[in-house]
Each structure stands twice: as C-alpha cells, then as structure tokens.
Amino acid sequence: MKDTSPTTDTDTLVSTTMDVPPVSLPSTVEETLSRCPRFRILVTGVGKSSLIASIFNVSQEDIDIADGHAGTANIDREYTSDDNPRFALHDSKGFEPGSTDHWGIVQEFIRQRSKKGLSIEQRLHALWLCIETPRSGSRLMQTADEELFKFATDCKIPVIVVFTKFDLLCNEFYAKAARFQEEHADSSMIQDQVVNEAYSSLRASIEVFRHQVDLTKRKRILWSYSRQPLSCVGVSTNRHFPSFLHTLEELTDVTRKCLHTQETFVPWAVAQRIDSKQKVETSIEEGSKSMYNFDLADFAGLTTSAGYWKDMAKSTVFRDHILKDCLWRIHLDIIKVWNFRDPQGLLIGREFHVQMLKLIEEFVPQPQNRLSTMRHLPVVAALAAIFGPLFPPLAIALGAVGFTVVAIEFLYHKYREAPETALFLEAYIVDLTLFLHELFAIALQSGWQKPLDSKLVSVTFEHYKKTKSGQIHQLIRNNAPSAREAIFPTKTKRNIGDLIREQLTLCEKSNFGSLIGEIDTSSDNTHSNFEPLNSDFGSLIGEVDTSSDNTHSNLEPSNSDDTHFCEHLRAPLMSQSSLNAPEAFAGRS
C-alpha cells in the first residue's frame, strides 16, 4: 500500500471510455462520498495484514505493516491503495503494557482523530482490535488490549474486537473429535460438531470478557460511552476453512452496525469488498434519496426533488434530458458503489454498456409514428435520417450489435413521462444490479485477489442472460402498473428496491460451483469485447481453472505445526465431494 493519494478513479476512467453525464445530472453517490471519500480505520494486533487484504481486496504484499510485534510505528501515516481508493488505514504496532511512550502516541492519535469539530473525512471511523482467537483456557485479552479498548470507547470510536485465526481453534477441536471418530463416521456431522464447539468455546470466552468489561464500567466514573456494546467477531482468512467467507461477511456486517454516523455508512459499504448485500442496499438508498438543488434562475433557493430511482414515470430530475444520459448516470452511480477492482474500466466501457442496453431492448416501446416505416430501411440510412451525417459513437456501437433503429431513436430522444419509459429504466437498474451481484459472488468465491478481466465479465454476463434475465424480465412486466394504476397509484405494486431484494434472495440460492471452475481469468486478458462465448454454461467446470494460480492468492495457508484441520471441513464450494481419508492441511489465517 502507498501513503499517497490514489490517481485512478471511476470518473477518470469514464472520461476516456464514454461521455461524461451532463452536470445537471450529478452523481448522488459522488455527492455523498465528497464529504467522506474514504473510510478511515485503525488496526492493531495479530493477523491484521491478511485481514485488510481480504476485506478490501488489496495485495497483501503491498501492505507493509507487521502483525502483532511490539515496536514503534508512524500511526499518523495514512496508508492508501490504488487498487481500492476508498479506505485509509492507520497502523498501530503492538505494544507492551509498560511501553508508556508508544501508548501515549496511540492515545494522542485517537484523541486527535475523535475531537469535536473535526470533519467527518478526517475523523477515525472505526478501530479493529485484532487478537488471535484464544485456545481453550487461555486469556482472552492482555492488559494492553483492554486499555486500548477502554480508551477508544471513551473517545466514542466504534471498536470491533476481531478474533483472527479462528480456524486454528477449530483445529484443536477437530483433534479432540478425531480421537473418538469411528471408521465410517459421517463427515458432515463431524464438521458441524467441530465448528459448533469452536464457536461455543469462543462465545463462552467472550461472555467472560463482557462480564469483566461491565464490572469495569461500573467502577469507572469517567466511562463516558458505557452504552456501546462489546462487538466481537471470530474470523479466518484461510480459504480452506469452510466458513471463511461467512466470518468475513459477519465482520463487515458488525462493523456497519457499530458505525455512529450516517455519513460513514456509504464510505464503508463502498470500501469493503466482501458483503454484496451492503452494496445492493447502498445502491437502493442512494438511488432513492432526495436530491437538493439551488435554483439561481428564480432565486427559489434550496429545493428538493426525488432521487433517480423514484417516480421514474414522471421524473422531474430526468425532465429535458436525453434518455441515454439518464441511463448512463444511473449506470455510473451503481458501478461506483460496487467498487470493483477494475483497472481496465470494463464495467464503465462502451462494450459492456451496449450489451446491457441490448439485454433490455425488449422493453423499448413500439412507436406509432414515422419510425414504423423506417425500421425496414438499412441501418445506415435510418441512422442518417435520425442523426444526419455525423453518427454518435454509441449509436454506431448499438447498430453493430443489432439494436433496432426504433430502439436507438428511443434512447436518443428526450425523457418522456410515461409508464413505458419507467419500465425501461427499471429493467436496466434491476438487470445491472443483479448481474453485478452475480459477478461479485463469482469473483469472490473463485479467488478475488485479482482484478476483473474481460473474459470473467463476458462469461458471467452470458450466464446471467441465459439463466436469469428471462424470468426477471417477466417479473418486471408483471409488476408494471396498469394504465389505471399509472394514474391512480396503489400500494400493491413493489417498488424497485423491493423487487431487487426479492430477486436477490433467489439469486443467492444459485450454485456457482460449476461456473467458478470454468473461467480461466488469467488466460485471456486481451479479450476486450463482450460477444457471447460459445460455452456450455451447464458444464463450465473445465473452462476456468482458478486453482492453477493459487500462488498469487493472498489467502494461502502458511505452513504450521498446529493440529491439522480435516479435509472434510472444506466448504461445499471448494469441494462438492466428501473425502473419506483424513487428508489435512496446516492452516493459518
């Protein structure tokens, strides 16, 4: 990681790939992020390097912070990453209870970064106190950890105690279970037993610590924020541990719930690259929130208007704007929230945008005007009749993939207040959001420590188009209001956010195991278009060999002398087969 500001952002890439939306269609997400561009976090303790690499999807080799060693560190140094410009990291190296000099530096940093009147951008938003998961009977926290927890909480900084290397505690319980394992014992039952016992042990240790903290609070008159609950999470960054993704998702969820101010909600949701639900919810909230405008023409002052996702059949925000510009603004805001590691700008490029538009072409209303006769003309002649001798680049690209002249004219016409227009916009939002959710899940489960490449995006897009888009489009049509309901709205129809949430639940049940094994994301980075690939998506297991490049994974387990964790405990996504032999690994977080 670097201690310099990143130079690559979505807006910079947009300026080189597509037209920038007009200033009269400002980014609601960027407006929120302008007040707090990065989520600022302080980490200290054991296992923090792999944790930061995993949660924010940055290269562990670039994080030059030491894990858990006592010593000095420039805690004021702001670590940022070009791979993920949406978080700022401060590192406090480990310290002993008697190291008063370093303890004073940490105290002063927390005190200064929590002062009243400090801008939200400069404030410390959260602290992760990383502690190696205690083994049976060992002390949960050392004195120095307890003092740090108490002081940060007094300063009203959200503190999350992160118990790292949780898989090693499971190793211990597996060793005990293995002594009594029968020769033909059910491996799934052993897996459940081991993980449940490990969680129970950790919960018991946490409850003891909670009791100690409560006693301390009662004794300390100066405990100014005693109502803050003790938030603890056990995590593992070892990809061979069956619940490693679940533990990381839990950490992102707990961190979100601990945040004190709404201004930090969006920066956190954007910065983290583990929890897709937070991405979806943030997109919905940002798209639906009210927008503020200052009208200098009539001195009306501060006025509000509905967000881009609201009242799309009679939007005052889109009025007088070209429909393609409205769509592009929505597209960029959604992409910005997902914050993919996309250095090539694939998701904000013309090729992907064209394929998204082609996907919803069926929602283009059929006109009752001169274009009904123009549809039989050659594409070039029809475009010339609409645009004259200079064709817009997007129109040329749309014509190249078979977009009808009627559909192109519809996109280049000004926004019309009509249910058909709203249906088209809604279809684009739903399809884009659900596709990004699927892309996020596949990239995450297949080894997300790599940037997106064009083959991963194109194959995932084709998979979504063939397996989900048809059903989703039918549900969108069924949810569309009738002509009467468009005039007299009822509450029986779901809004766009509810529709996405409902479909998200169905999408989460999808098994991407076959797809994950089929896309070789390292073999075809020169493939730059998104034309359909000739692939059998029902048997994609052989296409993408993500296991062939595990040497680049930041989550590879290191060698360990600790008790081995049985191969039976691998996650279903890692292996669909049950192994009869206790082939083990030496896993560390």
Q: H helices within 480-575, ranges in order? A: 483-487, 496-507, 513-516
Closest CA to 453 of 336, 334, 342, 332: 342
Residue 327 in tokens? 């769509």
Residue 524 in tokens? 């075809």
Instruction: Map 12-49 to HEC letters.
Output: HHHHHHCCCCCCCCCCHHHHHHHHCCCEEEEEEECCHH
**Pairing, β 291-295 against β 301-305:** antiparallel
CA distance 417 to 315: 7
CA distance 409 to 367: 10
| pLDDT score at 140 | 67
Burial 268-285 (b: 16+ CB within 10 A, else e): bbbbbbbbbbbbbbbbbb
| Dihedral angle sign, alpha carbons of residues 62, 63, 64, 67 | negative
Residue 295 in tokens? 């009208």
Residue 555 in tokens? 């989550």
Q: Does domain 36-59+119-272 have CATH number 3.40.50?
A: yes
End-to-end CA distance of the chain: 20
Task: Go through the chain and tell me how many residues it has.
Answer: 589
Those residues whose C-beta lies under 8 Å from the C-beta of residue 101, and which sit 6 or more positions away, are none
| pLDDT score at 369 | 60
Instruction: Provide the total of helices (H) and of strands (E) in the chain, helices listed first.
Output: 22, 10
Q: pLDDT tens digits, the chain, 589 residues: what are they?
A: 554 444 445 555 444 456 788 888 988 899 999 999 999 999 998 889 899 999 999 987 777 665 555 555 689 999 999 899 999 999 987 655 556 678 889 999 999 999 999 999 999 999 999 988 887 656 666 777 878 888 998 899 999 999 999 888 888 887 777 776 655 556 666 777 888 888 888 888 778 777 766 665 555 544 444 445 678 899 999 988 888 899 999 999 999 999 988 899 999 999 999 999 999 999 999 998 865 544 433 434 444 556 788 888 888 889 999 999 999 999 999 999 999 999 999 999 999 999 999 999 999 998 766 555 566 666 667 777 677 777 788 888 888 888 888 889 899 999 999 999 999 999 999 999 999 999 999 988 876 668 899 999 999 999 999 999 999 999 999 988 765 555 555 555 678 899 999 888 766 656 665 666 666 544 444 444 444 333 332 222 233 333 334 333 333 333 333 333 333 333 332 222 222 222 332 344 4
53 within 8 A of 3, measured Cβ to Cβ? no
Task: Classify residue 415 by its DSSP letter.
Answer: P
- Tell me the C-alpha to C-alpha distance, in Å, between residue 327 and each of 190, 323, 333, 359: 51, 6, 10, 14
CA distance 123 to 438: 34
Residue whose pair of structure tokens reads 């129809």 in the numeric block: 493
Phi-psi region of 47 (alpha: psi -120 to 50; beta: other; left: phi over 0): left
Closest CA to 426 of 479, 464, 484: 479
Q: According to CATH, where is 3.40.50 located in the chain?
A: 36-59+119-272
| pLDDT score at 511 | 61
CA distance 379 to 363: 20
| pLDDT score at 127 | 97
For residue 301, the SS3 value is strand
Other Cβ atoms within 10 Å of 434 Cβ, number: 21
pTM of the model: 0.80
Other Cβ atoms within 10 Å of 58 Cβ, number: 24
| pLDDT score at 355 | 96
66 within 8 A of 17, measured Cβ to Cβ? no
For residue 427, the SS3 value is helix
